[in-house]
Chains A and B, each alone.
Chain A
Amino acid sequence: MPKILSADKLDNCIERWKSSGNTVIGPVRKSNISAYRPVEKASEFELDIVLPDLSIKELFFPQTEPILKYAIRKQAIDTTEFLPPSGKRIVFGARPCDASGVAIDDPLFGWDYRDEYWFQRRNETVIVSIACVKADDFCMCTSLNLAPDSTMGSDILLRPINGGKGWLVEEITDRGRDAFASIADLLQESTESPVPPAAVPEKFNLEACVEWLKNPENFESRFWKEISVRCIGCASCTYLCPTCHCFDIQDEGDTYSGIRRKNWDSCSFALFTMHTSGHNPRSTQSARWRQRIMHKFNYFPGKFSLNKCSGCGRCSRQCPVDMGITETLQEISKLLP
Protein backbone atom coordinates (compact mmCIF):
# COMPACT_ATOMS: atom_id res chain seq x y z
CA MET A 1 0.00 0.00 0.00
CA PRO A 2 1.25 3.55 -0.71
CA LYS A 3 2.94 5.38 2.14
CA ILE A 4 2.37 8.91 3.25
CA LEU A 5 4.57 11.23 5.22
CA SER A 6 2.30 13.33 7.33
CA ALA A 7 3.23 16.98 7.80
CA ASP A 8 3.11 16.73 11.58
CA LYS A 9 5.80 14.04 11.49
CA LEU A 10 8.24 16.29 9.69
CA ASP A 11 9.95 17.44 12.87
CA ASN A 12 10.57 13.82 13.87
CA CYS A 13 12.02 13.12 10.43
CA ILE A 14 14.36 16.08 10.66
CA GLU A 15 15.48 14.95 14.10
CA ARG A 16 16.04 11.41 12.88
CA TRP A 17 18.02 12.54 9.83
CA LYS A 18 20.08 14.96 11.85
CA SER A 19 20.90 12.38 14.49
CA SER A 20 22.36 10.17 11.80
CA GLY A 21 24.69 12.97 10.72
CA ASN A 22 22.69 14.70 7.99
CA THR A 23 22.28 18.39 7.47
CA VAL A 24 18.67 19.03 6.54
CA ILE A 25 18.13 21.74 3.97
CA GLY A 26 15.02 23.21 2.40
CA PRO A 27 13.31 26.37 1.16
CA VAL A 28 13.64 29.08 3.80
CA ARG A 29 12.79 32.78 3.62
CA LYS A 30 15.33 35.06 5.23
CA SER A 31 16.03 38.76 4.66
CA ASN A 32 13.26 38.93 2.08
CA ILE A 33 14.59 36.17 -0.14
CA SER A 34 13.78 32.46 -0.34
CA ALA A 35 16.54 29.95 -0.89
CA TYR A 36 17.59 26.43 0.07
CA ARG A 37 19.06 26.77 3.56
CA PRO A 38 19.82 24.44 6.52
CA VAL A 39 17.03 24.13 9.08
CA GLU A 40 16.69 22.84 12.63
CA LYS A 41 12.95 22.35 12.58
CA ALA A 42 10.07 22.05 10.13
CA SER A 43 8.53 25.41 10.96
CA GLU A 44 11.51 27.11 9.30
CA PHE A 45 10.53 25.72 5.91
CA GLU A 46 8.59 27.85 3.51
CA LEU A 47 6.96 25.20 1.35
CA ASP A 48 3.82 26.98 0.23
CA ILE A 49 5.50 28.89 -2.60
CA VAL A 50 5.76 28.36 -6.31
CA LEU A 51 9.51 27.95 -6.03
CA PRO A 52 12.41 29.54 -4.10
CA ASP A 53 13.93 32.72 -5.54
CA LEU A 54 17.39 31.19 -5.66
CA SER A 55 17.88 27.83 -7.31
CA ILE A 56 19.27 24.65 -5.80
CA LYS A 57 22.48 25.07 -7.81
CA GLU A 58 24.42 26.78 -5.02
CA LEU A 59 24.18 23.63 -2.87
CA PHE A 60 26.37 21.80 -5.37
CA PHE A 61 28.16 24.66 -7.06
CA PRO A 62 28.46 27.57 -4.63
CA GLN A 63 28.75 31.08 -5.98
CA THR A 64 32.31 31.24 -4.65
CA GLU A 65 34.51 28.41 -3.50
CA PRO A 66 38.18 28.28 -2.44
CA ILE A 67 40.07 25.59 -4.30
CA LEU A 68 43.72 26.28 -3.53
CA LYS A 69 45.99 28.20 -1.18
CA TYR A 70 49.35 29.30 -2.53
CA ALA A 71 52.51 30.97 -1.28
CA ILE A 72 55.35 31.96 -3.56
CA ARG A 73 58.80 31.49 -2.02
CA LYS A 74 62.25 32.16 -3.52
CA GLN A 75 62.74 28.72 -5.05
CA ALA A 76 59.32 27.16 -4.92
CA ILE A 77 55.63 27.67 -4.75
CA ASP A 78 53.77 26.03 -1.88
CA THR A 79 50.23 25.01 -2.63
CA THR A 80 47.55 23.43 -0.50
CA GLU A 81 44.41 22.19 -2.14
CA PHE A 82 41.07 22.70 -0.47
CA LEU A 83 39.08 19.52 -0.72
CA PRO A 84 35.37 19.75 -1.32
CA PRO A 85 33.59 19.84 2.04
CA SER A 86 32.08 16.55 3.02
CA GLY A 87 28.91 15.78 4.97
CA LYS A 88 25.63 14.03 4.30
CA ARG A 89 22.70 16.26 3.37
CA ILE A 90 19.00 15.86 2.82
CA VAL A 91 17.32 18.50 0.73
CA PHE A 92 13.65 18.47 1.61
CA GLY A 93 11.06 20.22 -0.53
CA ALA A 94 13.10 20.76 -3.67
CA ARG A 95 11.10 21.67 -6.74
CA PRO A 96 11.18 19.15 -9.59
CA CYS A 97 12.65 21.80 -11.92
CA ASP A 98 15.51 22.34 -9.47
CA ALA A 99 16.16 18.62 -9.07
CA SER A 100 16.20 18.12 -12.83
CA GLY A 101 18.42 21.17 -13.20
CA VAL A 102 21.06 19.43 -11.12
CA ALA A 103 20.72 16.21 -13.10
CA ILE A 104 21.15 18.16 -16.33
CA ASP A 105 24.55 19.36 -15.14
CA ASP A 106 25.85 15.94 -14.05
CA PRO A 107 27.21 14.94 -17.47
CA LEU A 108 28.85 18.35 -17.86
CA PHE A 109 30.75 18.19 -14.59
CA GLY A 110 31.80 14.63 -15.30
CA TRP A 111 32.77 15.03 -18.91
CA ASP A 112 36.45 15.70 -19.78
CA TYR A 113 37.39 16.41 -16.19
CA ARG A 114 35.58 15.02 -13.19
CA ASP A 115 34.72 17.90 -10.90
CA GLU A 116 35.02 16.44 -7.40
CA TYR A 117 33.57 19.58 -5.86
CA TRP A 118 30.35 18.80 -7.67
CA PHE A 119 30.30 15.03 -7.36
CA GLN A 120 31.25 14.77 -3.73
CA ARG A 121 28.28 16.96 -2.90
CA ARG A 122 26.06 15.09 -5.34
CA ASN A 123 26.95 11.73 -3.81
CA GLU A 124 26.34 12.91 -0.29
CA THR A 125 23.02 14.63 -0.96
CA VAL A 126 19.56 13.13 -1.08
CA ILE A 127 17.05 15.26 -2.99
CA VAL A 128 13.49 14.95 -1.75
CA SER A 129 11.28 16.87 -4.18
CA ILE A 130 7.69 17.90 -3.77
CA ALA A 131 5.52 17.83 -6.89
CA CYS A 132 4.15 21.29 -7.69
CA VAL A 133 0.47 21.86 -7.18
CA LYS A 134 0.70 25.51 -8.08
CA ALA A 135 2.57 27.31 -10.81
CA ASP A 136 2.84 30.88 -12.02
CA ASP A 137 2.89 32.57 -15.42
CA PHE A 138 6.61 31.91 -15.80
CA CYS A 139 6.75 28.17 -15.09
CA MET A 140 7.46 26.26 -18.30
CA CYS A 141 8.71 22.78 -17.38
CA THR A 142 6.13 21.21 -19.69
CA SER A 143 7.67 22.99 -22.68
CA LEU A 144 10.93 21.19 -21.93
CA ASN A 145 9.40 17.71 -21.86
CA LEU A 146 9.43 17.82 -18.07
CA ALA A 147 6.49 18.21 -15.70
CA PRO A 148 5.44 19.60 -12.32
CA ASP A 149 5.83 16.05 -11.04
CA SER A 150 8.86 14.87 -13.01
CA THR A 151 11.25 12.66 -11.12
CA MET A 152 14.44 13.58 -12.99
CA GLY A 153 17.17 14.31 -10.46
CA SER A 154 15.01 13.49 -7.45
CA ASP A 155 15.78 10.66 -5.05
CA ILE A 156 12.28 10.82 -3.59
CA LEU A 157 9.21 12.48 -5.05
CA LEU A 158 6.50 13.59 -2.64
CA ARG A 159 2.99 14.31 -3.89
CA PRO A 160 0.90 16.60 -1.69
CA ILE A 161 -2.35 15.12 -0.41
CA ASN A 162 -5.50 17.12 0.19
CA GLY A 163 -5.56 19.72 2.91
CA GLY A 164 -1.79 20.04 3.21
CA LYS A 165 -1.74 17.16 5.68
CA GLY A 166 1.23 15.48 4.12
CA TRP A 167 2.68 13.84 1.08
CA LEU A 168 2.46 10.57 -0.75
CA VAL A 169 5.93 9.04 -0.95
CA GLU A 170 7.39 7.82 -4.24
CA GLU A 171 10.86 6.32 -3.96
CA ILE A 172 12.98 6.95 -7.04
CA THR A 173 16.58 5.94 -6.26
CA ASP A 174 18.41 3.70 -3.82
CA ARG A 175 19.80 6.78 -2.14
CA GLY A 176 16.26 7.97 -1.55
CA ARG A 177 15.13 4.54 -0.35
CA ASP A 178 17.96 4.48 2.21
CA ALA A 179 17.12 7.93 3.52
CA PHE A 180 13.48 6.96 3.90
CA ALA A 181 14.26 3.56 5.41
CA SER A 182 15.56 5.44 8.43
CA ILE A 183 12.14 7.05 8.91
CA ALA A 184 10.05 4.06 7.82
CA ASP A 185 8.27 3.87 11.18
CA LEU A 186 7.16 7.52 10.82
CA LEU A 187 5.34 6.84 7.56
CA GLN A 188 1.75 5.69 7.42
CA GLU A 189 -0.08 3.51 4.98
CA SER A 190 -2.79 5.33 3.15
CA THR A 191 -5.20 5.14 0.29
CA GLU A 192 -5.50 8.88 -0.11
CA SER A 193 -5.05 10.19 -3.59
CA PRO A 194 -2.65 13.03 -4.27
CA VAL A 195 -3.61 16.53 -5.37
CA PRO A 196 -3.17 16.65 -9.15
CA PRO A 197 -0.02 18.44 -10.30
CA ALA A 198 -0.28 22.07 -11.39
CA ALA A 199 -1.49 22.72 -14.92
CA VAL A 200 1.45 24.26 -16.77
CA PRO A 201 0.58 25.17 -20.35
CA GLU A 202 3.11 24.42 -23.07
CA LYS A 203 4.59 27.70 -24.25
CA PHE A 204 6.46 26.79 -27.41
CA ASN A 205 7.29 23.89 -29.65
CA LEU A 206 10.78 23.02 -28.54
CA GLU A 207 11.58 20.55 -31.32
CA ALA A 208 10.74 23.09 -34.01
CA CYS A 209 12.77 25.82 -32.26
CA VAL A 210 15.74 23.51 -32.04
CA GLU A 211 15.55 22.83 -35.78
CA TRP A 212 15.66 26.59 -36.38
CA LEU A 213 18.65 26.98 -34.05
CA LYS A 214 20.52 24.17 -35.76
CA ASN A 215 20.21 25.78 -39.17
CA PRO A 216 23.56 27.58 -39.66
CA GLU A 217 21.85 30.26 -41.75
CA ASN A 218 20.07 31.50 -38.66
CA PHE A 219 23.26 32.14 -36.72
CA GLU A 220 23.59 35.57 -38.31
CA SER A 221 19.84 36.25 -38.41
CA ARG A 222 18.60 39.76 -37.60
CA PHE A 223 16.39 38.04 -35.08
CA TRP A 224 19.15 37.97 -32.47
CA LYS A 225 19.58 41.70 -32.48
CA GLU A 226 15.84 42.37 -32.44
CA ILE A 227 15.04 40.02 -29.60
CA SER A 228 17.87 41.16 -27.35
CA VAL A 229 17.96 44.90 -27.94
CA ARG A 230 16.64 45.65 -24.47
CA CYS A 231 18.92 43.16 -22.67
CA ILE A 232 21.12 45.11 -20.27
CA GLY A 233 23.68 42.33 -19.94
CA CYS A 234 23.46 41.46 -16.27
CA ALA A 235 23.84 37.96 -14.89
CA SER A 236 20.51 37.72 -13.17
CA CYS A 237 19.23 35.09 -15.61
CA THR A 238 22.36 32.96 -15.56
CA TYR A 239 22.99 33.14 -11.82
CA LEU A 240 19.41 32.26 -10.93
CA CYS A 241 19.37 29.45 -13.47
CA PRO A 242 19.68 25.99 -11.93
CA THR A 243 21.61 24.72 -14.95
CA CYS A 244 24.04 27.52 -15.88
CA HIS A 245 27.39 26.22 -14.81
CA CYS A 246 29.99 28.71 -15.99
CA PHE A 247 32.72 29.82 -13.64
CA ASP A 248 35.84 31.92 -13.48
CA ILE A 249 39.06 31.23 -11.62
CA GLN A 250 40.37 34.13 -9.55
CA ASP A 251 43.46 34.50 -7.38
CA GLU A 252 42.84 36.68 -4.37
CA GLY A 253 45.71 37.92 -2.28
CA ASP A 254 48.94 39.84 -2.70
CA THR A 255 51.90 39.16 -4.95
CA TYR A 256 53.26 36.37 -2.76
CA SER A 257 50.35 34.48 -1.35
CA GLY A 258 46.67 34.07 -1.74
CA ILE A 259 43.69 31.89 -2.36
CA ARG A 260 42.49 30.62 -5.68
CA ARG A 261 38.71 30.66 -6.02
CA LYS A 262 36.12 29.32 -8.38
CA ASN A 263 33.40 31.96 -8.86
CA TRP A 264 30.22 31.97 -10.89
CA ASP A 265 30.58 33.67 -14.24
CA SER A 266 28.13 34.44 -17.01
CA CYS A 267 28.08 34.61 -20.79
CA SER A 268 25.92 37.72 -20.43
CA PHE A 269 28.96 39.75 -19.48
CA ALA A 270 31.18 41.33 -22.13
CA LEU A 271 34.21 40.42 -20.02
CA PHE A 272 33.35 36.72 -20.24
CA THR A 273 34.91 36.37 -23.69
CA MET A 274 37.25 39.36 -23.68
CA HIS A 275 40.70 38.37 -24.96
CA THR A 276 43.91 39.74 -23.48
CA SER A 277 44.47 41.54 -26.77
CA GLY A 278 41.27 43.51 -26.24
CA HIS A 279 39.45 41.66 -29.02
CA ASN A 280 36.08 40.31 -28.03
CA PRO A 281 34.61 37.58 -30.24
CA ARG A 282 31.19 38.20 -28.68
CA SER A 283 31.33 41.94 -28.83
CA THR A 284 27.61 42.69 -28.76
CA GLN A 285 24.84 41.81 -26.34
CA SER A 286 22.95 40.09 -29.14
CA ALA A 287 25.89 37.74 -29.73
CA ARG A 288 25.92 37.01 -26.01
CA TRP A 289 22.18 36.34 -25.87
CA ARG A 290 22.50 34.08 -28.93
CA GLN A 291 25.20 32.14 -27.09
CA ARG A 292 22.90 31.62 -24.14
CA ILE A 293 20.09 30.26 -26.30
CA MET A 294 22.38 28.24 -28.58
CA HIS A 295 24.20 26.72 -25.66
CA LYS A 296 21.01 25.69 -23.92
CA PHE A 297 19.11 24.28 -26.87
CA ASN A 298 21.66 23.47 -29.55
CA TYR A 299 25.26 22.91 -28.35
CA PHE A 300 24.54 21.26 -25.01
CA PRO A 301 21.86 18.87 -26.31
CA GLY A 302 24.17 18.09 -29.23
CA LYS A 303 26.82 16.92 -26.81
CA PHE A 304 24.85 15.44 -23.94
CA SER A 305 21.40 14.78 -25.44
CA LEU A 306 19.79 16.93 -22.75
CA ASN A 307 18.25 20.38 -22.95
CA LYS A 308 20.13 22.77 -20.75
CA CYS A 309 16.96 24.13 -19.21
CA SER A 310 14.52 22.65 -16.74
CA GLY A 311 11.83 25.25 -17.31
CA CYS A 312 11.90 26.84 -13.85
CA GLY A 313 11.21 30.24 -15.42
CA ARG A 314 13.54 32.18 -13.12
CA CYS A 315 15.31 33.81 -16.05
CA SER A 316 12.06 35.45 -17.14
CA ARG A 317 10.59 35.95 -13.68
CA GLN A 318 13.51 38.05 -12.47
CA CYS A 319 14.82 39.72 -15.60
CA PRO A 320 14.97 43.47 -15.00
CA VAL A 321 13.70 44.12 -18.52
CA ASP A 322 11.16 41.29 -18.76
CA MET A 323 13.11 39.14 -21.24
CA GLY A 324 13.93 35.47 -20.85
CA ILE A 325 14.15 32.12 -22.53
CA THR A 326 10.39 31.79 -22.94
CA GLU A 327 9.91 34.94 -24.98
CA THR A 328 12.85 34.11 -27.23
CA LEU A 329 11.64 30.60 -27.98
CA GLN A 330 8.10 31.83 -28.48
CA GLU A 331 9.35 34.38 -30.98
CA ILE A 332 11.43 31.74 -32.75
CA SER A 333 8.27 29.63 -32.99
CA LYS A 334 6.64 32.52 -34.86
CA LEU A 335 9.44 32.51 -37.45
CA LEU A 336 8.77 28.92 -38.35
CA PRO A 337 6.83 28.05 -41.49
Chain B
Amino acid sequence: MSIEVQYRNRAKELLSNGEVKLVVGYTGGTTPERRRPVFISSAEQVDRLVLDDLCIANLSGYLVTESLLSDEKSVAVFLRPEGIRSINILAAENQLNPDQIVIFGFEPAGNTIKALDGTNALEFSEFVVSLSENPSVSDSDPVIEKLEKMSAQERFSFWQDEFSKCIKCYACRQACPMCYCRRCIVDCNQPQWINTSPHTLGNFEWNIIRAFHLAGRCVECGNCDRACPVNIPLRLINRRMAVEARESFDHFAGLSMTQEPVLASFKKDDSETFIL
Protein backbone atom coordinates (compact mmCIF):
# COMPACT_ATOMS: atom_id res chain seq x y z
CA MET B 1 0.00 0.00 0.00
CA SER B 2 1.41 3.39 -0.93
CA ILE B 3 2.11 5.79 1.86
CA GLU B 4 -0.47 8.11 0.34
CA VAL B 5 -3.22 5.52 0.62
CA GLN B 6 -2.04 4.46 4.05
CA TYR B 7 -2.26 8.05 5.34
CA ARG B 8 -5.59 8.67 3.61
CA ASN B 9 -7.00 5.67 5.41
CA ARG B 10 -5.62 6.83 8.70
CA ALA B 11 -7.04 10.31 8.12
CA LYS B 12 -10.42 8.80 7.34
CA GLU B 13 -10.36 6.74 10.51
CA LEU B 14 -9.31 9.60 12.77
CA LEU B 15 -11.89 11.95 11.30
CA SER B 16 -14.74 9.46 11.46
CA ASN B 17 -14.12 8.42 15.04
CA GLY B 18 -13.66 12.04 16.06
CA GLU B 19 -10.09 11.67 17.27
CA VAL B 20 -9.10 14.68 15.20
CA LYS B 21 -11.24 17.54 13.99
CA LEU B 22 -8.97 18.47 11.09
CA VAL B 23 -6.20 17.09 8.92
CA VAL B 24 -3.69 19.55 7.51
CA GLY B 25 -2.09 18.01 4.45
CA TYR B 26 -1.21 18.53 0.81
CA THR B 27 -3.23 18.39 -2.35
CA GLY B 28 -2.60 18.99 -6.05
CA GLY B 29 -1.86 22.52 -7.21
CA THR B 30 -2.21 24.70 -10.28
CA THR B 31 0.45 22.84 -12.25
CA PRO B 32 1.45 19.16 -12.11
CA GLU B 33 4.59 20.02 -10.08
CA ARG B 34 2.75 22.06 -7.49
CA ARG B 35 1.37 20.91 -4.19
CA ARG B 36 -0.68 23.16 -1.96
CA PRO B 37 -1.82 22.96 1.65
CA VAL B 38 -5.29 21.55 2.18
CA PHE B 39 -7.53 21.38 5.24
CA ILE B 40 -9.66 18.26 5.51
CA SER B 41 -12.40 18.18 8.11
CA SER B 42 -14.59 15.29 7.02
CA ALA B 43 -13.89 11.65 6.19
CA GLU B 44 -15.53 12.04 2.76
CA GLN B 45 -12.82 14.46 1.65
CA VAL B 46 -9.73 12.40 2.43
CA ASP B 47 -9.24 11.45 -1.21
CA ARG B 48 -8.14 14.99 -1.82
CA LEU B 49 -4.99 14.31 0.18
CA VAL B 50 -1.89 13.88 -1.96
CA LEU B 51 1.47 12.70 -0.66
CA ASP B 52 4.62 12.35 -2.71
CA ASP B 53 8.12 13.77 -2.99
CA LEU B 54 6.73 17.11 -4.24
CA CYS B 55 5.17 17.75 -0.82
CA ILE B 56 7.85 19.94 0.65
CA ALA B 57 6.26 22.80 2.58
CA ASN B 58 6.47 22.71 6.37
CA LEU B 59 2.80 22.83 7.39
CA SER B 60 3.35 23.20 11.13
CA GLY B 61 2.81 26.98 11.01
CA TYR B 62 -0.89 26.45 10.43
CA LEU B 63 -1.20 24.77 13.82
CA VAL B 64 -0.62 28.02 15.64
CA THR B 65 -3.35 29.82 13.71
CA GLU B 66 -5.22 31.90 16.26
CA SER B 67 -7.74 29.82 18.25
CA LEU B 68 -7.33 26.65 16.16
CA LEU B 69 -6.32 24.55 19.17
CA SER B 70 -8.15 26.46 21.88
CA ASP B 71 -11.05 23.96 21.94
CA GLU B 72 -8.52 21.29 23.06
CA LYS B 73 -9.49 19.07 20.12
CA SER B 74 -6.74 17.35 18.15
CA VAL B 75 -5.46 18.14 14.69
CA ALA B 76 -3.47 15.85 12.41
CA VAL B 77 -0.72 17.22 10.24
CA PHE B 78 1.60 15.89 7.54
CA LEU B 79 5.20 16.63 8.53
CA ARG B 80 8.67 16.08 7.21
CA PRO B 81 11.50 15.74 9.76
CA GLU B 82 11.97 19.52 9.90
CA GLY B 83 8.26 19.87 10.63
CA ILE B 84 8.54 17.47 13.54
CA ARG B 85 11.39 19.55 14.89
CA SER B 86 9.24 22.67 14.60
CA ILE B 87 6.54 20.96 16.69
CA ASN B 88 9.16 20.44 19.39
CA ILE B 89 10.07 24.11 19.30
CA LEU B 90 6.46 25.28 19.29
CA ALA B 91 5.82 23.01 22.28
CA ALA B 92 8.99 24.15 24.07
CA GLU B 93 7.92 27.75 23.52
CA ASN B 94 4.41 27.05 24.83
CA GLN B 95 2.72 27.79 21.52
CA LEU B 96 0.84 24.51 21.38
CA ASN B 97 0.08 21.45 23.40
CA PRO B 98 1.85 18.57 21.61
CA ASP B 99 -0.80 16.13 22.85
CA GLN B 100 -3.25 17.80 20.48
CA ILE B 101 -1.07 17.13 17.44
CA VAL B 102 -1.25 13.85 15.53
CA ILE B 103 1.75 13.57 13.25
CA PHE B 104 1.66 11.93 9.81
CA GLY B 105 5.43 11.78 9.40
CA PHE B 106 7.33 11.16 6.20
CA GLU B 107 10.82 11.71 4.92
CA PRO B 108 12.49 11.83 1.54
CA ALA B 109 14.11 8.59 0.40
CA GLY B 110 15.87 9.06 -2.90
CA ASN B 111 13.28 10.12 -5.46
CA THR B 112 10.43 9.05 -3.30
CA ILE B 113 9.30 9.28 0.29
CA LYS B 114 8.82 6.88 3.13
CA ALA B 115 6.60 6.93 6.18
CA LEU B 116 8.00 7.62 9.63
CA ASP B 117 6.84 5.58 12.60
CA GLY B 118 5.03 7.38 15.37
CA THR B 119 2.07 9.71 15.81
CA ASN B 120 2.94 11.91 18.76
CA ALA B 121 5.95 14.23 18.90
CA LEU B 122 7.33 12.30 21.89
CA GLU B 123 7.52 9.13 19.83
CA PHE B 124 9.88 10.85 17.43
CA SER B 125 12.40 11.73 20.15
CA GLU B 126 14.97 9.16 19.10
CA PHE B 127 14.48 9.94 15.44
CA VAL B 128 15.15 13.63 16.05
CA VAL B 129 18.26 12.81 18.08
CA SER B 130 19.49 10.72 15.16
CA LEU B 131 18.95 13.74 12.87
CA SER B 132 21.11 15.87 15.12
CA GLU B 133 23.89 13.32 14.86
CA ASN B 134 23.92 13.32 11.06
CA PRO B 135 25.10 16.68 9.82
CA SER B 136 22.87 17.78 6.95
CA VAL B 137 24.11 17.28 3.40
CA SER B 138 23.90 20.96 2.64
CA ASP B 139 26.97 21.43 4.85
CA SER B 140 28.89 21.18 1.63
CA ASP B 141 26.79 23.66 -0.34
CA PRO B 142 29.14 25.28 -2.90
CA VAL B 143 27.62 28.73 -2.43
CA ILE B 144 28.28 28.50 1.30
CA GLU B 145 31.88 27.54 0.67
CA LYS B 146 32.23 30.46 -1.71
CA LEU B 147 30.74 32.81 0.87
CA GLU B 148 32.99 31.54 3.64
CA LYS B 149 36.04 32.23 1.50
CA MET B 150 35.04 35.83 0.90
CA SER B 151 36.49 38.74 2.82
CA ALA B 152 34.08 40.51 5.15
CA GLN B 153 33.82 43.31 2.60
CA GLU B 154 33.00 40.96 -0.27
CA ARG B 155 30.45 39.17 1.82
CA PHE B 156 28.89 42.47 2.78
CA SER B 157 28.49 43.47 -0.84
CA PHE B 158 27.06 40.04 -1.70
CA TRP B 159 24.34 40.55 0.90
CA GLN B 160 23.90 44.17 -0.06
CA ASP B 161 23.03 43.05 -3.60
CA GLU B 162 20.70 40.40 -2.29
CA PHE B 163 18.94 42.50 0.34
CA SER B 164 18.53 45.44 -2.02
CA LYS B 165 16.03 43.23 -3.88
CA CYS B 166 13.82 42.74 -0.80
CA ILE B 167 10.37 44.27 -1.24
CA LYS B 168 9.31 43.72 2.38
CA CYS B 169 6.43 41.51 1.44
CA TYR B 170 7.11 39.54 4.64
CA ALA B 171 6.37 36.26 2.83
CA CYS B 172 9.45 34.83 4.56
CA ARG B 173 7.98 35.66 7.95
CA GLN B 174 4.46 34.58 7.12
CA ALA B 175 5.68 31.26 5.73
CA CYS B 176 7.87 30.53 8.75
CA PRO B 177 6.37 28.33 11.48
CA MET B 178 8.76 29.90 13.97
CA CYS B 179 7.59 33.45 13.12
CA TYR B 180 4.36 33.10 15.05
CA CYS B 181 4.41 36.42 16.95
CA ARG B 182 0.97 38.03 16.87
CA ARG B 183 2.75 41.31 16.48
CA CYS B 184 6.12 41.12 14.78
CA ILE B 185 8.78 43.61 15.87
CA VAL B 186 8.53 45.36 12.47
CA ASP B 187 4.82 45.86 13.06
CA CYS B 188 5.37 47.55 16.43
CA ASN B 189 4.98 51.18 15.57
CA GLN B 190 4.77 53.01 18.90
CA PRO B 191 7.67 53.58 18.57
CA GLN B 192 8.67 52.16 15.22
CA TRP B 193 11.69 50.05 16.11
CA ILE B 194 12.58 48.89 12.63
CA ASN B 195 12.36 50.98 9.46
CA THR B 196 9.46 49.72 7.42
CA SER B 197 10.88 51.20 4.22
CA PRO B 198 12.19 48.69 1.72
CA HIS B 199 15.38 50.66 1.04
CA THR B 200 18.67 48.85 1.40
CA LEU B 201 19.19 49.97 5.00
CA GLY B 202 15.66 48.99 6.02
CA ASN B 203 16.07 45.68 4.24
CA PHE B 204 19.30 44.97 6.11
CA GLU B 205 17.60 45.79 9.38
CA TRP B 206 14.71 43.51 8.58
CA ASN B 207 16.67 40.52 7.35
CA ILE B 208 19.26 40.72 10.11
CA ILE B 209 16.64 41.08 12.82
CA ARG B 210 14.76 38.11 11.46
CA ALA B 211 17.95 36.05 11.28
CA PHE B 212 18.67 36.83 14.93
CA HIS B 213 15.15 36.01 16.01
CA LEU B 214 15.48 32.65 14.25
CA ALA B 215 18.97 31.82 15.49
CA GLY B 216 18.83 28.43 17.17
CA ARG B 217 15.12 28.18 16.33
CA CYS B 218 15.26 27.73 12.58
CA VAL B 219 14.83 24.11 11.52
CA GLU B 220 15.92 24.80 7.94
CA CYS B 221 12.64 23.71 6.43
CA GLY B 222 13.16 26.19 3.59
CA ASN B 223 9.64 27.67 3.71
CA CYS B 224 11.03 31.22 3.82
CA ASP B 225 13.52 30.66 1.03
CA ARG B 226 10.88 29.19 -1.28
CA ALA B 227 8.36 31.91 -0.40
CA CYS B 228 10.66 34.82 -1.19
CA PRO B 229 9.36 36.22 -4.49
CA VAL B 230 12.66 37.92 -5.30
CA ASN B 231 14.81 34.85 -4.69
CA ILE B 232 16.96 36.09 -1.86
CA PRO B 233 18.90 32.95 -0.78
CA LEU B 234 17.64 33.00 2.79
CA ARG B 235 18.73 29.37 3.20
CA LEU B 236 22.33 30.57 3.33
CA ILE B 237 21.60 32.68 6.38
CA ASN B 238 19.69 29.85 8.01
CA ARG B 239 22.50 27.40 7.38
CA ARG B 240 25.08 29.76 8.80
CA MET B 241 22.98 30.35 11.91
CA ALA B 242 22.46 26.61 12.43
CA VAL B 243 26.19 25.93 12.13
CA GLU B 244 26.91 28.78 14.54
CA ALA B 245 24.38 27.52 17.08
CA ARG B 246 25.85 24.05 16.87
CA GLU B 247 29.52 25.02 17.00
CA SER B 248 29.21 27.66 19.69
CA PHE B 249 26.50 26.19 21.88
CA ASP B 250 26.12 22.56 20.81
CA HIS B 251 22.52 23.40 19.98
CA PHE B 252 20.37 21.59 17.40
CA ALA B 253 17.08 23.44 16.95
CA GLY B 254 14.03 21.41 17.87
CA LEU B 255 15.90 18.56 19.52
CA SER B 256 13.22 18.10 22.16
CA MET B 257 10.11 19.61 23.67
CA THR B 258 12.07 20.72 26.72
CA GLN B 259 14.96 22.30 24.89
CA GLU B 260 15.84 25.79 26.09
CA PRO B 261 16.07 28.53 23.46
CA VAL B 262 19.74 29.09 22.74
CA LEU B 263 19.62 32.89 22.78
CA ALA B 264 17.40 33.11 25.83
CA SER B 265 19.19 30.75 28.15
CA PHE B 266 22.53 30.92 29.91
CA LYS B 267 25.09 28.30 30.84
CA LYS B 268 28.23 29.00 32.81
CA ASP B 269 30.43 27.44 30.17
CA ASP B 270 28.78 29.23 27.22
CA SER B 271 31.26 30.40 24.64
CA GLU B 272 31.74 34.14 25.01
CA THR B 273 33.89 34.82 22.01
CA PHE B 274 31.62 37.63 20.88
CA ILE B 275 31.80 39.57 24.14
CA LEU B 276 34.56 42.15 23.99
Contact = CB atoms under 8 A, between A and B. Distances in A.
Interface of A: 31-33, 53-54, 63-64, 137-138, 229-230, 232-236, 238-240, 248, 250, 252, 261, 263-264, 266, 269, 271, 316, 318, 320-324, 326-327
B113 interface: no
B170 A234 contact: yes
Interface in B17-75: 29-31, 34-39, 57, 61-62
B211 interface: no
A250 B192 contact: yes
B199 A137 contact: no
B238 interface: no
B187 A271 contact: yes
A232 B197 contact: no
Given A63-B167, A239-B229, A263 B174 contact: no
B261 interface: no
B138 to A, nearest CB: 18
B187 A33 contact: no
Contact of B39 (A53, A229, A261): A229
B226 interface: yes
A263 B227 contact: no
A234 B174 contact: yes
B175 A263 contact: no
A223 to B, nearest CB: 15
Interface of B: 29-31, 34-39, 57, 61-62, 161-162, 165, 167-171, 173-175, 187, 192, 195-199, 202, 223, 226-227, 229-231
Contact of A322 (B36, B199, B223): B36
Contacts of A271: 187
Given A53-B230, A63-B198, A322-B36, A327 B30 contact: yes
Given A53-B230, A327-B30, A235 B198 contact: no
Contact of B165 (A33, A252, A261, A316): A33
A91 B98 CA distance: 55
B198 A236 contact: no
Contacts of A138: 30
Given A137-B30, A240-B229, A232 B61 contact: yes
Contact of A321 (B36, B165, B192): B36
A250 B196 CA distance: 8
Nearest to B37: A230
20 contacts: A31-B231, A33-B231, A64-B198, A64-B202, A230-B39, A234-B169, A234-B170, A240-B229, A250-B192, A250-B196, A250-B197, A261-B197, A263-B198, A271-B187, A320-B171, A320-B174, A320-B175, A320-B223, A321-B37, A322-B34
